[in-house]
Structure 1
Amino acid sequence: MGCLQSKVGTSKEPGESNVNSTLTENSPQRGATIKNVESWITNPSDYVAKSSVDKKIIKTLQARKKKMDEDGTYSKHTNFERVAMQFGNVEMAFGTIRDIYEKHTDPVRKTMHMDNFCSALSAFGVTIDRPAIQDIFNESDLIRDNSLNFNEFAVSLAICYLLGVVPGLNVAGGHAYYENPPADDESSPELDATDAKQIAKAFDTVVNAYLMFDEDASGIIKWDEMQEILNKPEDGKAKVTSHKTKFFNVERWKELDWNKDGSINFQEFFLAFQKWVGMDDEE
């Protein structure tokens, strides 16, 4: 099965810049001096998505948040202790993703380039065209080296899950917040039902953790929003939940804000979350 029918739009909208060139200009330099957290906040206005894929991610997150609000389940799903209890399951799911990554990695360069990525998604049963896959690849290549390490590959699968283009994961997740819900009878030749369900649940856990801090699903988490949430009592308690304050602090923020622009999008959050559960790729 190849990269065929497009489910993810790739055409640029008026005023929208090329994904790769825009993000390359703003990419972080390794070894750069870490600035004071407050000085990272350079754009106090609302977040503007940099690509069509980013826009679709935000739209899906907003639909998910809306559904939680309608169901009255937002507080339940974004409870920190509840999310933290899933870390072990998330780590196991990421282990399965690592096996898949290594299966499709270039054996010589030990990394995943575009051709490998297209092959991996085809094995998952993904049937989107190559330009759409290139967009997802670019969105996941956070280091900007035209390849995906394991952590970036996991980010790419999470994006695919949110966009509803991986049949096996879509069925396992069973969600109703996609703009164009996939057919229920589709399956993935790469994943058995058990692994698919485990990975889908892990992705849901990370999404819930993200929405814990991006309460309006705007597409970014800002430092002042993070501070406000950390200092807000939960369930009538007079003080901040100790687990939260230990887990999120300035050092955690530095890990999250990959490009040091004073805000965190879902992709950056997902990348850092892997490190927190013990799945950091050694560079």
Structure 2
Amino acid sequence: MGAVIGKVEPTEMVWLPESKIEAKMVQAMQRRASQGSSMKSFNTIILKFPKIDESFRKCKSIFEQFDEDSNGVIDRDELRKCFQKLDISFSEEDINDIFEACDINEDLVMKFSEFIVLLCLVYLLDPAALLAKSKIGTPNLEATFEPLVDAFVFLDKNKDGYVSKSEMVQAINETTGGERSSGRIAMKRFEEMDWDKNGMVNFKEFLFAFTRWIGIDEAEDEEDE
């Protein structure tokens, strides 16, 4: 995810995105961060877990609609048709990039949890496209994905499009009042988000961690058994 290019302060790193799609994610998140966040603490995010979980599961109908062969995954061609039906004006390169970015298992197909992450990234990059929900008969996708964008903005204290360890500690401390266990809690949550273990978390990594926190991955594993 991103490469370090130098220090601004002793504890601050400047990161360059490793891909075009990551650069677009970072730019979109920086624009959104200028609006601020309604989240007041990490507990506020946790309290939203059940409602977001319910909203995610309503998105299953979208997934099934575009899983044309009903094999439980969406391949690249099915995703391309999905974008065409939604009139999402992504280039072929962007579609390939976002597919590869969300294909976390690198198995060339997209499971439901990966598809949720992809939809949320599309919402971040092109909100108008997904808000045309009448085309796919979906629930309110803005209500589904905006809390996740809002949560990331809350964590990204310096509004650079990434969450660092120090920012995670700060967010947890705001909730716990600096209790002795807060540092351990922050590090555990951060490690769950930092998929590539490079010390910085982008929005995609945050989303994949979130699907695990609310149990989407576990539910998929149970269905596969």
TM-score by length of 2: 0.79
Structure whose CA Rg is larger: 1
Task: Say if 1:88 and 1:247 are closer, same or farther in 2 by CA, change over 3 A.
Answer: farther
Question: What amino acid is aligned across from residue 240 of structure 1 in structure 2?
Answer: G
SS at match of 1:89: helix
Q: Contact 1:111–1:148 (CA<8 Å) still a contact in 2?
A: yes
Match of 2:129 in 1: 167
**1:196-275 → structure 2 map (5 Å cutoff):** 197=140, 199-231=141-173, 233=174, 239-240=177-178, 245=182, 248-275=185-212
Query: Given the alignment of the two structures, is residue 190 of structure 1 paired with residue 136 of structure 2, yes or no?
Result: yes
Correspondence 1:63 to 2:31: yes
Structure 1 position 141 matched with structure 2 position 103: yes
Q: Is the Cα–Cα contact under 8 Å of residues 78 and 211 in structure 1 kept in the other structure?
A: no
In 2, the alpha carbon distance for the partners of 1:145 and 1:218 equals 31
For the Cα contact (< 8 Å) 2:152–2:206, is it kept in 1?
yes
CA positional deviation for 1:89 = 1.9
Q: How does 1:99-118 map to 2 (within 5 A)?
A: 99-105=61-67, 107=69, 109-118=71-80
| Cα distance, 1:129–1:60 mapped onto 2, change above 3 Å | closer
Conserved 8 A contact 1:62-1:216: no
Which aligned runs of 4 or more in structure 1 are off by greater than 6 angstroms? none
Higher relative contact order (CA 8 A, sep 6+): 1
Any idea what the Cα deviations from partners look like across 1:156-194, whole Å, max 9, x if unmatched? 11111111165242xxxxxxxxxxxxxxxx5641135xx
Q: 1:28-69: per-residue Cα shift (whole Å, max 9, x none)?
A: xxxxxxxxxxxxxxx97312111222112111111111122x
Gaps of 5+ in 2: 3-10
Maintained 8 Å contact 1:221/1:264? yes
RMSD: 3.2
Return closer, same or farther for 1:147/1:78 CA change in 2, 3 Å cut-off. farther
SS in 2 for 1:259: coil
**Cα distance in 1 for residues equivalent to 2:126 and 2:142:** 11
Look up the equivalent residue of 2:15 and give its one-letter code. Y
- Name the CA shift for 1:108/1:207 in 2 (closer, same or farther; >3 Å): closer
Measure, in 1, the Cα distance between the counterparts of 2:127 and 2:142. 13
Bigger share in strand: 2
Q: 1:117 corresponds to which letter in structure 2? A: L
Distance, in Å, in 2 between the alignment partners of 1:228 and 1:220 is 14
Q: 1:45 to 1:249 in 2, by over 3 A?
A: closer
So what's the TM-score if we normalise by structure 1? 0.64
